[in-house]
Amino acid sequence: DTGVSQDPRHKITKRGQNVTFRCDPISEHNRLYWYRQTLGQGPEFLTYFQNEAQLEKSRLLSDRFSAERPKGSFSTLEIQRTEQGDSAMYLCASSLAAGPTDTQYFGPGTRLTVL
Amino acid sequence: QQPVQSPQAVILREGEDAVINCSSSKALYSVHWYRQKHGEAPVFLMILLKGGEQKGHEKISASFNEKKQQSSLYLTASQLSYSGTYFCGTEREDKLIFGTGTRLQVFP
């Protein structure tokens, strides 16, 4: 098991461009989460999937953000018409929701810089 | 509303002990503790599910007081590798709400 992986690790883009990030969860984990983290702050929840179903979206997730998990395995997070305020670390986590324990394991993140 | 952690920052010499507290204004149903080093992902340390539960991992342990809506993380005989930012997290409707964070620096 290689853990959660994310690609790319770094992305620099110009304001107004679209970007897409990919997350590969730990195999057989049925839940996948996206978080955003800015400098000095804890991760903030954006959205999560159980298998291929997107169960919740934070109000932080504007209409410019969309996430998919088409086959219940990897997930993509797309940001359209990026703004400078989108600059942050985007973290993906996965878990195997079973009973009372739901430990989330994080990937290395994608650091987005919008110029 | 996110849990509040105290202190915000701690500076230690190797071998010293530290306590990090996590308080919530809302009911805590479980507490997750993570450590994050600069530029890296948060790493899971432990989870406490029940009030009164205590857990330990090597020289790091934690307690959970459900009634007081608090959890504490205890670092004993700190090592250089303990440096990083510690976050508590509480589960709310399947997602984690992270605390304000405590930055820990251990010097030789």
B2 in A contact zone (CB under 8 Å)? yes
What are B54-94's pLDDT values in tens digits? 667 778 999 988 888 899 999 999 999 999 999 999 888 87
Which residues in chain A are contacts of B100 at CB distance < 8 A? 42
The amino acid at residue B2 is Q
Asked if B107 contacts B14 with a C-beta cutoff of 8 angstroms, the reply is yes
Which residues in chain B are contacts of A44 at CB distance < 8 A? 98
Q: Considering Cα of A11, then A15, then A17, then A21, what sign does the dihedral take?
A: positive
| Contact map slice: A 41-80 vs B, CB within 8 A | 41-45, 48, 55-56
Residue A28, pLDDT score: 87
Instruction: Tell me the percentage of chain B whose pLDDT exceeds 90.
Output: 60
Residue that the structure tokens 């979206």 belong to: A57
